[in-house]
A and B are shown apart, each in its own frame.
Chain A
Amino acid sequence: MKAVMVIFNQANTERVEFLFDRLNIRGYTWWSEVKGRGSESGDPRMGTHTWPELNSAAMTIIPDEQVDVLLDNVRKLDELNKEVGVRAFVWNIEKAY
């Protein structure tokens, strides 16, 4: 079991929803408005006057074998337009109830 956190520009909302749907990822936690900026590139997403855009985040706990499929598709989504941006981060799940 791995946790994957997908953080993406709000403008990608529908695509991420579609992505989860297609990959049969049923469970996730969704934050529709989060702020943040990339470590290397990309504009900050602050929801302020200066940086008006916002990100959303979705965290899903999926079986290990599904992780690469998901990451692969996230990469494809990112390549549509680098400016808009989407990232995914994976870590282990020690225990679950």
Chain B
Amino acid sequence: MSLYKNAVKKPITTMMVFTAVIVMGIYSLIYLPVDLYPEMDPPYISVITSYSGANASDIEINVTRPLEDMFNTVDNLKEIYSVSSDNVSVITLEFDWEADLNEASNDVRDAIDLVYGFLPEGVERPSIFKFDMSMIPILFYAITAEESYPGLGKILEERIINPLNRIEGIGTTGLMGSPRRSIYVEADPVKLAAYNLTIEQLGNTIRSENMNMPSGNIRMGMMDYQLRVEGELAESYELNNLMVGHFQGSSVFLSDVAQVRDTLRDVALDERIDGSQGVRMMVMKQSGANTVTVARDVKNAIAELQRDLPPDITVREIIDTSVFISDSVNNLSQTMLWALFFVILVVLFFLGKWRATFIVILTIPISLIVSFIYLFITDGSLNIISLASLSIALGMVVDDAIVVLENISRHIERGTSPREAAIYATNEVWLSVIVTTLVIVAVFFPLTLVPGMTGVLFSQLGWIVTITVTASTIAAITLTPMLASQLLELKKRVERPGRFSHLKTIEPFLVWFEGSYEKTIRVALKNKKKVVAGGIAIFIGSLFLLGLISTEFMPESDESRLNASIELTTGLRVEETMKVARELEDIIRERYPEALVMAVSSGSDDAGGISALFSQRGPNSIDITMRLLPVSERYRSIWEIADDLRRQLELIPEIVEYSVTTSGGGFGSNTVDVEIYGFDFNVTGALAHQIRDAIRAIPGAEDVQISRKDDRPELQVVLDRNKLAQNGLNTAMVSSAIRNRVTGMTASMLREQGDEYDIIVRYSEDTRSTISDIESLVMTNATGSRISLGEIGRVEEYWSPPNIERKSRERIVTVSAVPSGIALGDLAQEINRVISSVDVPPGVMINVGGAYEDMAEGFMDLGLLLLISIILVFLVMASQFESFIMPFVIMFSIPFSFTGVILALFITNTTLSIIAALGAVLLIGIVVKNGIVLIDYINLMRDRGHPLNEAIAISGKLRLRPVLMTAATTTFAMLPLALSRGEGSEIWSPMGISLIGGLVFSTMVTLVMVPVIYGIFSRRGERDRIQKIRNKFKFMNGNGS
């Protein structure tokens, strides 16, 4: 018993099976997380090694290089990057996307074990750090305060962060720029000298006074008492009364030599939100948690918690990544509904019957729901890739059902009972339905095999379309016949159709259209050469247009946020940086009324944690984050605003470098990187500057930056070893003495209500702010007498490179540029042209990479994909037609689909991105399917004995509707995708545009070119075949067998 026979004979079973599928699908849909992209862990592992006291080049030679050499042998390694800066070496290993990172990190750990013994003593054990998508914050809040500002850190910690961490799915919550209380004991060096005291003595006194000590226990009578000495300071002012020494018989108190200041820690990072002081709060989710629900929970919680805060504290959202996600997901869902609507219209237009339309349309939800089950099983998420894939599949899933239903209706119209018609009509077409599906699968399945980052995106598309289309085929040969047998009725045509019925309105039009198409084919068949020549001319003509279309990697999307990183003169102190920041705030407030929230941070947080290792921020950097009005509520696009901001930044003389980015991570990276490999800093540095200036001259090149920062001014204390020896001192002792006097010595902690605050002892600021102040720092030598720093060394001004970057185990400097107003591919071309005119010194190598490299790789992958798809499609068709020629005839329509793509991109002025190119690849399957429908029928007609030209003309006429119908359902399903203008649409509309363009154009061409080419190829074959058969059976001629 075949599948369809069973399905028709057991309608209830069939219905139950599909109901089960629907129930499971809805269950899956409810539990599917919503995200922007499919889950993907970037294959990076960082190894962080600290070696205190070493400068960048020491680190490079002694730490980075031995480690790099060892890592080079790790499996699946793609590239090694490293940055060696003072005290720390950060090596980043990039692996293949397919690599198992757990295994890779074990390999890395083994490599570290092997080499660790050879590293200099004092190098701390390297720590391995795996990058995770969950480290990207999903929410940014700006929290401003007036009177409560000094205590803000503590308030937020208690009332916001701790409650937030209880929410399910929350990873970590971090505060940036929160003020911290410190108690400074600032001593006057002159008074210290007068009383014969040192900083260390002060510190030790505070340390030994500020403690609680258990001192044993006493048994008294029947009891056992604990004995304790309670000496801890309760308040900071008590410090003043500590006795720090004796001088000429009287006690010296701390207040005699120093001033105690209970205040906020020195500013290193200044956070301003819309100009007022505040902090930034970042919320990270756990890996795998649903961004949208976590963000919603956090927002609800914060709205609740905010009520308990002092009234002067305001919490405002700067960035909410979930908004973009849910907006684009909603947008795509809407797009899909529109697609569904259009497909219903198209089916109704062609079939003209409500019941038939209902049966056909029912396959859409069923096939889509199957893909929800797939996503649920594979831990996938509803994201823009999966939804767009569904949108693409939507127009294709009805095709099979249409073919089956059409055949069933034909049988019913001949008077067969619906039940029998359903069985026998399905029997006639089930094989060809499966073959056309195979063609689609042949194109989409290879997508699941694409390697690399593009592969992660494409594989979901590949799986979803493959699964959806397969599900639709299964539904078409089971559910559709079953429903047809139950719902369609055996009755004569309505005698008198209504005035506006399908029969009176659309049907005559379709009949007229079929007639004129038949005439067209007949004319074309008489002018084969002209038609072919015309076709080739159109195709070649379109190739010229290709030159006018610009290329880019991934289309950027307007996420309504903007980030600017600004670098001022190196070595600038943070107070100066803040002045520029205030100036920028004024400019932004004046010029960009679109900005809803603006957060400006100047300087860097010294205790910023691990993230500080990855971003090269210093006291001279400014970071501006802006959230803008939603796309629909403003006139200027994010790119226009970014460009304008760049012009403004250009005008401020203090700004050395800047970059304005408009994307919030993901795949928006859009830079061309010029990589300069070479050992000599001076040579590569000069070359980098030369190239930077040349690139800056290119119109459209923005944010041109050199990765190696300018040499930093440094004050170096050069010690005289002889004098050190005479005084019995060594470098470590001197450097710690200097540190205690300048930065301060953390003597102890003040404990108050469970919180601890540093007590820092140091020289008062006015006695340590010039070179001569430093030279006159006083310390004790081995004999206890006092000497000044000037006696054992001198202070010199010096320039040092702040970091040394390496890639592929060679020193590298990168000059990067971002295209604005021109396409990435064009910019890369221009840059290549500029570079070729630059003199490259010997020993230096230049390579152009960045997103441009990814783009080239992506297009290579797609080219390969195109090849594989064509081969697979050929295989399927050759075996279906049992012929080598027929597939070629059908494939003639493929070049014209590319012509259509090029035309569509050209007319709509869309750039050729990976996504648009992917559309072109996918077209193969859809276009070929059209060809198969037509050619198959021509073959049929010829086998049934019609002469060649007649067969072609008749088939054309009869198959016009199915061809138009499949093309129209796919086109109209894609139309909302191509036209959508909302959040996230920039990413997918190019694919819609290229698919529609290619499909419309190739359908027009298929309908004329394919029959003509069939005619050309088959004329010979016809005569030969008859002759061949006659030669085979010679027995009738009386000779042979």
Contacts and interface: CB of A to CB of B under 8 A. Distances in A.
A5 B94 CA distance: 78
Interface stretch (B42-50, B421-429, B662-670, B981-989): B421-429
Contact of A84 (B414, B427, B429, B944): B414
B1018 interface: no
Contacts of A13: 420
A11 B940 CA distance: 21
B419 interface: yes
Contact of A14 (B417, B432, B939, B940): B417
Contacts of A15: 417
A-side interface mostly: loop
B428 A52 contact: yes
B415 A80 contact: yes
B110 interface: no
Given A50-B944, A51-B944, A11 B419 contact: no
B944 A81 contact: no
Contacts of B417: 11, 14-15
B416 A84 contact: yes
Given A11-B411, A81-B414, A53 B428 contact: yes
Contacts of B939: 50
A64 interface: no
Nearest to B940: A50
Interface string A8-26: 0011111100000000000
Contacts of A80: 415
Interface in B347-392: none
Contacts of A54: 424
Nearest to B880: A49
8 contacts: A10-B424, A12-B416, A15-B417, A49-B940, A52-B427, A52-B428, A81-B415, A84-B414
Contact of A11 (B424, B431, B943, B944): B424
Nearest to B415: A81
Given A12-B416, A49-B432, A81-B415, 7 more contacts: A11-B414, A12-B420, A13-B420, A14-B417, A14-B419, A50-B940, A53-B424
A54 B420 CA distance: 13
A83 B414 contact: yes
A14 B420 contact: yes
Interface in A1-47: 10-15, 43
A50 B941 CA distance: 8
B724 to A, nearest CB: 99
Contact of B943 (A10, A12, A50): A50
Interface string B389-429: 00000000000000000000001001111011100100111
A11 B428 contact: no
Contacts of A81: 414-416
B436 to A, nearest CB: 14
Interface in B428-446: 428-429, 431-432
A83 B420 CA distance: 16
A84 B417 CA distance: 12
B58 to A, nearest CB: 78
Contacts of B411: 11
Nearest to B412: A11
A49 B434 CA distance: 14
Contacts of A14: 417, 419-420
Contacts of B420: 10-14
Q: Considering residues A43, A49, A54, A80, which has the most beta carbons from chain B within 10 angstroms of its beta carbon?
A: A49
A52 B425 CA distance: 9
Interface residues of B, number: 18
A7 to B, nearest CB: 16
Nearest to A11: B416
A51 B424 CA distance: 13
A12 B415 CA distance: 9
Contacts of B431: 49
Nearest to B419: A14
A52 B423 CA distance: 13
B427 A11 contact: no
B8 to A, nearest CB: 12
Contacts of B943: 49-50
A8 to B, nearest CB: 11
Contacts of B427: 52
Contacts of B415: 80-81, 84
Nearest to A83: B414
Interface in A44-76: 49-54
A65 B944 CA distance: 41
Contacts of A51: 944
Nearest to B432: A49
B618 to A, nearest CB: 75
B704 to A, nearest CB: 64
A33 B399 CA distance: 29
Nearest to B429: A52
Contacts of B419: 14
A54 B427 CA distance: 10
A14 B420 CA distance: 8
Top 8 nearest A-B pairs (CB, nearest first) are A52-B428, A81-B415, A50-B943, A11-B416, A80-B415, A11-B420, A81-B414, A11-B424
A49 B427 CA distance: 11
A13 to B, nearest CB: 6
A5 B36 CA distance: 68
B554 to A, nearest CB: 45
Interface in B643-665: none
Nearest to A50: B943
A66 to B, nearest CB: 26
Interface in B902-953: 939-940, 943-944
A47 B417 CA distance: 20
A15 B421 CA distance: 13
B673 to A, nearest CB: 57
Contacts of B940: 49-50
A38 to B, nearest CB: 14
Contacts of A49: 431-432, 940, 943
B619 to A, nearest CB: 79
Nearest to B428: A52
Nearest to B417: A14
A39 to B, nearest CB: 16
A26 to B, nearest CB: 23
Contacts of A43: 944
B63 to A, nearest CB: 72
B620 to A, nearest CB: 77
Nearest to B944: A50
Nearest to B942: A50
A41 to B, nearest CB: 14
A80 B414 CA distance: 9
A15 B420 CA distance: 10
A35 B417 CA distance: 22
A14 B429 CA distance: 21
A88 to B, nearest CB: 18
Nearest to B416: A11
B11 to A, nearest CB: 16
A49 B428 CA distance: 8
Interface string B508-538: 0000000000000000000000000000000
Contacts of B429: 52
A84 to B, nearest CB: 6
A51 B427 CA distance: 12
A80 B413 CA distance: 11
A78 B943 CA distance: 27
A43 B945 CA distance: 11
Contacts of B421: 11
Interface in B628-652: none
A79 to B, nearest CB: 10
A81 B411 CA distance: 11
Contacts of A53: 424, 428
A14 to B, nearest CB: 6
B706 to A, nearest CB: 68
A51 B414 CA distance: 17
B429 to A, nearest CB: 8
A51 B431 CA distance: 14
A43 B940 CA distance: 13
